[in-house]
Structure 1
Amino acid sequence: MNTRIARRRTLGAGLAALVLTGGLVACGGGEGGSGGAGSGTYTMWDPYPQFDDTSAWVKLLKDCGTKAGVTVKRTGYDTSDLTNKAMLAAQQGNAPDVLIIDNPVVSSLAEAGVLTTTEDVKIDTSAIDTNLLGAGQMDGKTYGVPIGANTLALYYNKDVLKKAGVDIASVKDWPSLNAALAKVKGAGKKGITFSAVGTEEGSFQFLPWFWGSGAALTKMDSPQAVAAVSLWTDWLKKGYAPNSVINNTQTTSWQEFATGDYAFAENGTWQLANAKKAGFDYGIIPIPGVNGGTAPAPTGGEFVTVPVQKQTGRYATSLKLMECLTSTDNLFATDNTLSYVAPTAAVQAKQVAANPDLKVWVDAVKAAKGRTGDNLGTKYPKISEQMWTAVQAALSGKASPQDALTKAQTAAANAQ
Structure 2
Amino acid sequence: MKRTSLTARTGLALAALAVPAVLTGCGGSTSASANQQVTSISVLDYYNNEPDKTFIGDALNTCAQKAGVTLDRQTITGSALIQKVLQQASSKTLPDVLMLDNPDLQQIASTGALAPLSDFKISTDGFADGVLQAGTYNGKVYGLAPTVNTIALFYNKDLLAKAGIQPPTTWDELKAAAAKLTSGSQYGIAFSAAATYEGTWQFLPFMWSNGGDEKNLDSPQNAEALQLWTDLVKDGSASSGVLNWKQADVKDQFVAGKAAMMVNGPWQLPPLDKAAGLNYGIVKLPTKNATDTEVAPLGGETWTVPQTGNKAKQAKAAEVVGCMNSDEMQLSMAKQRNTVPSKTTLAAQFASQNPKLSVFTDLIKTARARTGELGADWPKAATKIYTAVQSALTGKASPADALKQAQNNG
Would you say same fold, with TM above 0.5?
yes
CA-to-partner distance for each residue in 1:264-293, whole Å, 9 max, x for gaps? 101111111122133221100111222234
* Displacement of 1:314: 4.5
CA distance in 2, matches of 1:277, 1:62: 29
C-alpha distance 50-184 of structure 1, shift in aligned 2 (>3 A): closer
Could you tell which deviates more after superposition, 353-362 or 393-402? 353-362
Q: Please, what is the CA RMSD of the aligned residues?
A: 2.7
C-alpha displacement at 1:45, in angstroms?
2.0
Matches within 5 A, 1:10-29: 10-12=7-9, 14-23=11-20, 24-25=22-23, 27=26
Unaligned 5+ segments in structure 1 are: none
1:328 counterpart = 2:320: no
The equivalent residue for 1:287 is 285
Instruction: Verify: 1:97 aligned to 2:96, yes or no.
Output: yes
Q: Deviations over 1:159-181 (max 9, x none)?
A: 1111221122xx22222322323
Tell me the SS of whatever aligns to 1:192: strand
| Corresponding residue number in structure 2 for 1:379 | 377
Partners of 2:62 and 2:245 in 1: CA distance: 41
8 Å Cα contact 1:149-1:342 kept in structure 2: yes
Q: 1:241 to 1:152 in 2, by over 3 A?
A: same
Question: Could you say which residue in structure 2 is the equivalent of 1:192?
Answer: 189
> Match for 1:401: what amino acid?
P
The separation in 2 between residues aligned to 1:56 and 1:220, in whole angstroms, is 39
Letter in 2 for 1:89: Q
1:198 is paired with a residue of what secondary structure? Answer: coil
**Rounded Cα–Cα distance in structure 2 between residues aligned with 1:249 and 1:63:** 33
Post-superposition shift, 1:253? 1.8
Matches within 5 A, 1:32-47: 36=35, 39-47=38-46
1:110 maps to 2:73: no
Give the letter for the 2:300 counterpart. G
Could you give the per-residue CA deviations for residues 2-36 of structure 1, whole angstroms, max 9, x where no partner exists?
A: xxx64541144543233124344161579xx9683
Q: Which residue of 1 aligns with 2:255?
A: 258
- Offset at 1:201? 1.3
Between the two proteins, the alignment pairs up a number of residues equal to: 403
* Alignment deviations for residues 302-357 of structure 1 (CA, whole Å, 9 cap, x no partner): 10101113244554433322221111111222233333222112332343344211
Amino acid corresponding to residue 214 of structure 2 in structure 1? L
C-alpha change, 1:79 and 1:276, in structure 2 (3 Å) is same
What corresponds to 2:132 in structure 1?
133
Q: Give the gaps of 5 or more residues in structure 2.
A: none
Matches within 5 A, 1:79-94: 79-94=78-93
The one-letter code of the counterpart of 2:219 is: S
Q: Residue in 2 aligned with 1:302?
A: 301
SS at match of 2:231: helix
Corresponding residue for 1:233?
Answer: 230
Alpha carbons of structure 1 residues 210 and 36: separation in structure 2 relative to 1, 3 Å: same
Greater shift, 171-180 or 103-112, is seen at: 171-180
Select the residue among 213, 216, 220 that pairs with 1:216. Answer: 213
8 A Cα contact 1:29 1:95, kept in partner: no
The letter for the 2-side match of 1:288 is P
Which residue type is aligned with residue 396 of structure 1? T
Q: 1:210 to 1:56 in 2, by over 3 A?
A: closer
Three-state SS of the structure 1 residue aligned to 2:147 is: coil
Give the match's secondary structure for 1:367. Answer: coil
Q: 1:106-153: per-residue Cα shift (whole Å, max 9, x none)?
A: 111101110112222321111111112212223322211112212111
Q: What is the CA–CA distance in structure 2 between the aligned matches of 1:13 and 1:223, rounded to whole Å?
A: 30
**Residue 395 of structure 2 is aligned with which of 382, 388, 397?**
397
Partner in structure 2 of residue 246 of structure 1: 243
Identity %: 38
CA contact (8 A) 2:303 2:321 kept: yes
TM-score (norm 1): 0.88
CA distance in 2 between partners of 1:400 and 1:49 (Å): 39
CA contact (8 A) 2:217 2:407 kept: yes
How far apart in 1 are the matches of 2:228 and 2:10? 26
SS in 2 for 1:265: strand
Distance 1:63 1:37 in 2: 23
Partner amino acid, structure 1, of 2:206 = W
Equivalent residue, structure 2, for 1:74: 73
Q: Give the counterpart letter for 1:276 in structure 2.
A: D
Matched, 1:178 2:180: no
* Counterpart contact for 1:164–1:187, Cα < 8 Å: no
CA distance 1:233–1:42, shift in 2 (3 Å): same
Offset of residue 38 of structure 1 = 6.2
Partner residue in 2 for 1:156:
155
- The one-letter code matched in structure 1 to 2:266 is T
Quickly say closer, same or farther: Cα 1:258–1:40, change in 2 above 3 A: closer
8 Å contact kept, 1:9–1:200: yes
Note if contact 1:212-1:288 (Cα within 8 Å) is conserved in structure 2.
no
Contact 1:43 1:97 in 2 (8 A): yes
Q: Distance in 2 between matches of 1:239 and 1:313?
A: 60
* Partner Cα distance (1:233, 1:153) in 2: 19
Q: CA 1:15/1:28 → structure 2, altered by over 3 Å: closer, same or farther?
A: same
